[in-house]
Amino acid sequence: MLRLLAEGDIERVMDQAKESMLLLGVNLHYVVGNHNAPLLRATRERGVLAQVYLLDQQSQLAKDFYAEEGSRDRLRDTKAQTYLRLRESQKQLRALHHELRNVGRGDRLKVWQYKSISMYTAVTVDAETPAGRMIISPHLYSVEAHFPPLFELTRQENPDLFGVYWKDLTQFVERVEKRLMPLDEA
């Protein structure tokens, strides 16, 4: 069964993480900006490894993406707002890493910057286990980026569709050109 999620459901799913979390998006402002608490609880209290993938704003694709004539304007997001959201997500992730480092858990957060565009935002929780869950938010042409539809998939209830998305996600993060974002910089 494919479930449409409400805002509070994101934290419920993230709070179930026991081993790993993967977050993928263009700027992840919706996830990082609104759901830092469950990300911090998972990494600090339970030692969950969180791997975060954001668009590399220095890549040519990002420059095109953030251009006034770029695709984001069609989603009614201005260049400046979208770029600011990416910078704010980076700032929040650095603050989160600083807090984790202070309690000896700095290795539990890895932030990657990639040079491609994913067609959806994803949050996965323990995806390689039988209890795997994921939240998928497709990037729809006519829907504002900060009002995304959210769908939950579980490995147990949706093994085929879960497998399709998990395969796509793992191939994306394995094959895309990426670099680790330095988290100790301002």
Span 54-74, pLDDT tens digits: 888 777 776 676 665 545 444
The domain limits of the chain are 3-180
Mean pLDDT of the chain: 84
Beta bridge pairs of residue 112: 53, 180
CATH of domain 3-180: 3.30.870.10
- The pTM of this model reads 0.86
pLDDT digits (tens, 9 = 90+) for 12-34: 999 999 999 999 988 887 788 78
pLDDT at residue 110 in the model:
94
Kindly give, in sequence order, each residue whose CB lies less than 8 Å from that of residue 71, ignoring residues fewer than 6 positions away.
65
Asked whether the beta carbons of 91 and 36 are under 8 A apart, the reply is no
pLDDT at residue 77 in the model:
57
- Spatial separation of the C-alpha atoms in residues 33 and 179, rounded to whole Å: 22
pLDDT digits (tens, 9 = 90+) for 69-107: 545 444 455 666 777 888 888 899 999 999 999 999 999
- Spatial separation of the C-alpha atoms in residues 136 and 150, rounded to whole Å: 6
Most confident of 32-46, 47-61, 158-172: 158-172
